[in-house]
Amino acid sequence: MADKVFWNGGALLAPVPPVLVTCGTMEHCNVLTIGWTGICATHPPMTYISVRPTRHSYAIIKESGEFAVNLTTTAMVKAVDFCGVRSGKTTDKLKACGLHLTEPPQGSVPILLESPVSLTCKVTQIIPLGSHDMFLAEITGTAVDPRYVDSKGKLNLQQSGLLAYAHGEYFALGRKCGAFGYSVKKKRR
Ligand SMILES: Cc1cc2nc3c(=O)[nH]c(=O)nc-3n(C[C@H](O)[C@H](O)[C@H](O)COP(=O)(O)O)c2cc1C
C-alpha cells in the first residue's frame, strides 16, 4: 500500500452538505450557504452551523435565536454558490436566485420551497471557536417535500438529487452502495 503525505491540521472533512440557511422573517429574510454543519445528537435532535461573525446573517441569527437549514439539490447548485459569495448586506439573494419562501408551522424563520427537506432550528448555545462561532441548536421541526414521501410514508431523499461539497467543489451524490446495518444483516433464504 502507498505511504501517506502528512500535512498540517486543516478543515479537510468531505463531503459535507452545502446547505442554504435562512434567517430573519418573511418580510426581511436572508439566505447564506453553510458548509460547516452537521447533526450532533438524535434525542433531542440537535444541529450546529459555524458562522463567521463578519457575515451579514450572523447578527440576524444571534438576535432572533433562530434559523432554518435547507438541504440542497443539484438543481439548486448555482443558488448555493451565489448565496455563498454574495452578501445580503448588498444583494437580495432570494430574488436574484429565484428562490421562494414559505412559513413553517414551527418557528418564525421562513424556509425554502425549493428544498427537499428543511429543518427549523432554535439556538441553545453560541460557542466562539476562533474564525467561526458555532450556533448549537435544537431542531424544532422538519418540513419535507411530499414528492419524496412514498405511499408507505417512507422518505426517499436520494430521489431529490442531493448535493455534496468536497474540497471546494460541488458534486451530485452518486449511486447507493449499502444501507444502515446491511453488513451484518442475515440473508433471507
Ligand atoms: C460552499 C460554501 C460553503 C460555505 N460555508 C460557510 C460556513 O460554513 N460558514 C460561514 O461563515 N460562511 C460560509 N460560506 C461563506 C458565506 O456563505 C458567504 O460569506 C456569504 O456571502 C455570507 O452571506 P451573508 O453576508 O448574506 O450572511 C460558505 C460559502 C460557500 C460557497
Sorted by where each starts, the structural domains of the chain and their CATH numbers stand as 19-172 (2.30.110.10)
Does ligand 1 have an atom closer than 6 angstroms to the CB of 18?
yes
pLDDT (average), residues 111-138: 98
Atom of ligand 1 nearest to the CA of 58: 27
Residue 34 reports pLDDT greater than 90 = yes
Which contacts qualify for 43-46: CB closer than 8 Å, 24 or more apart? 44/138, 44/139, 45/138, 45/139, 46/124, 46/136, 46/137, 46/138, 46/139
CA 81 to ligand 1: nearest atom: 31
Give me ligand 1 centre to Cα 34, in Å: 5
CB 69 within 8 A of CB 47: yes
**So what's the pLDDT on residue 106?**
76
Overall pTM > 0.95: yes
pLDDT class of 38 with cuts at 50, 70, 90:
very high
| Tens digit of each residue's pLDDT (9 = 90 or more) over 129-147 | 999 999 999 999 999 999 9
Going by pLDDT thresholds of 50, 70 and 90, the confidence category of residue 107 is: confident
Mean pLDDT, the chain, whole residue set = 96
- To test ligand 1's pocket by mutation, which of 36, 37, 55 has the most ligand atoms within 8 angstroms of CB? 55
Q: Indicate whether residue 161 lines ligand 1 (CB < 6 A).
A: no
Task: Confirm or reject: Cβ of 22 under 6 Å from ligand 1.
Answer: no
Q: Say how many Å lie between the CA of residue 151 and the centre of ligand 1.
A: 37
Whether 1 has a pLDDT exceeding 80, the answer reads no
Whole-number Å distance between alpha carbons of 129 and 138: 19
pLDDT at 83 over 80: yes
CB 152, CB 144: distance < 8 Å: no
Q: How far apart are alpha carbons 158 and 162 in whole angstroms? A: 7
Nearest atom (ligand 1) to Cα of 93? 26
Indicate if the pLDDT at residue 105 is higher than 90.
no
Whole-number pLDDT of residue 188: 76
Pocket test for ligand 1, best of 13, 22, 34, 71 (most atoms within 8 A of CB): 34
Is residue 101 within 6 Å of ligand 1 at its C-beta? no
Task: Check pLDDT > 80 for residue 189.
Answer: no
Q: Which pLDDT score is estimated for 33? A: 98
* Cell numbers linked to 149: 414521501
On the question of pLDDT at 177 being above 80, the answer is yes
SS (H, E, C) the chain: CCCCCCCCCCCCCCCECCEEEEEECCCCEEEEEECCEEEEECCCCEEEEEECCCCHHHHHHHHHCEEEEECCEHHHHHHHHHCCCCCCCCCCHHHHHCCCEECCCCCCCCEECCCCEEEEEEEEEEEECCCCEEEEEEEEEEEECHHHECCCCCECHHHHCEEEEECCEEEECCCCCCCCCHHHCCCCC
**Residue percentage of the chain with pLDDT more than 90:** 94
